[in-house]
Amino acid sequence: MSGALSAGLGAVARTVSETVVPPPESTQQALGYPSLFLLVVLGSLVPVVPTGALVSGAAVVALHQSLPVFALLSVFGIASLAAFLGDLGLYWLGRRGVGSKNGSRWLTALRERAAPERLAQADARLREHGVAVLVVSRLIPAGRIPVMLACLLARMRMREFARGDVLACLAWAAVYQLIGVAGGSLFPRPWEGIAAAVALTLAVSAAPAVWRRVRGSRPDTA
């Protein structure tokens, strides 16, 4: 009885796997690339979307395309451009708030997301290293907003901010794409690689907050 049931379930699984055909690559690219662009732009403007995980997942999908090099280069270019445009848009909105007598909700939102001690650290690093700190800020989880706010309060010009941010976005896209390639190369099925890459990306993003919480919960032995 159990053998017949197992054979039946196996037959159903084979039928489903043969019937469900993934969409062609042209369809995946036509839908995936614009979606990646829009979501990364949105995640840069409203820092709640895990844009790093999006890039890593897209890299896994690109790795399993018939022309993986071209697909990976496309993901890299789209992610870099989208992050850059999103950063410029958020910085422009923040500059309007700095220049306005009543501020703006965008500037207020940036202030709420930057703890005072992290803002002080970002301001000190900005004074010491200049726009080069933008590159590091995009690679450190939760490091982008304090540095961007420090740039706004220092009234850095848009051109100067863009010059440093373009390198930051290129480095950011490259790092998270490498995470996706690493995850995709370990598993034969794309969904397994996507799950691994997204899990690793979220773990990396959450690590600093967890570490700060652990340090804050330790009793003072002094």
Q: Output the pLDDT for position 193.
A: 63
Q: Output the pLDDT for position 78.
A: 96
Q: Output the pLDDT for position 203.
A: 63
Least confident of 60-64, 109-113, 200-204, 216-220: 216-220
In whole angstroms, what separates CA 217 from the centre of its chain?
29
For 123, other C-beta atoms within 10 Å of its C-beta total 18
Instruction: Please give the Cα distance from 214 to 150 (Å, whole number).
Output: 26
Q: What is the pLDDT of residues 26-39, one digit of tens each?
A: 665 666 789 999 99
Least confident of 7-16, 115-124, 185-194: 7-16
Nearest C-alpha neighbor of 134 from the set 175, 98, 90, 166: 166
Tokens matching residue 216: 């804050």
Q: Output the pLDDT for position 21.
A: 43
φ/ψ of 194, rounded to 5, equals: -65, -45
Query: Burial letters for 27-61: b for 16+ Cβ neighbours within 10 Å, e otherwise?
Result: ebbeebbeebbebbbebbbebebbbbbbbbbbbbb
Q: Output the pLDDT for position 11.
A: 45
Tokens matching residue 150: 């420090």
| Residue 20 pLDDT greater than 50, yes or no | no
Rounded to a whole number, what is the largest CA-CA distance in the chain? 79
Q: What predicted TM-score, i.e. pTM, was given to this entire model? A: 0.73
CA dihedral 144, 147, 148, 150 (to 10 degrees): 160
Give 154's DSSP letter. T
Nearest C-alpha neighbor of 190 from the set 73, 72, 57, 70: 57
Q: What is the pLDDT of residues 160-218, one digit of tens each?
A: 999 999 999 999 999 999 988 887 777 666 656 666 666 666 665 555 555 455 555 55
Nearest C-alpha neighbor of 180 from the set 49, 68, 52: 52
**In one letter, which amino acid is 110?**
L
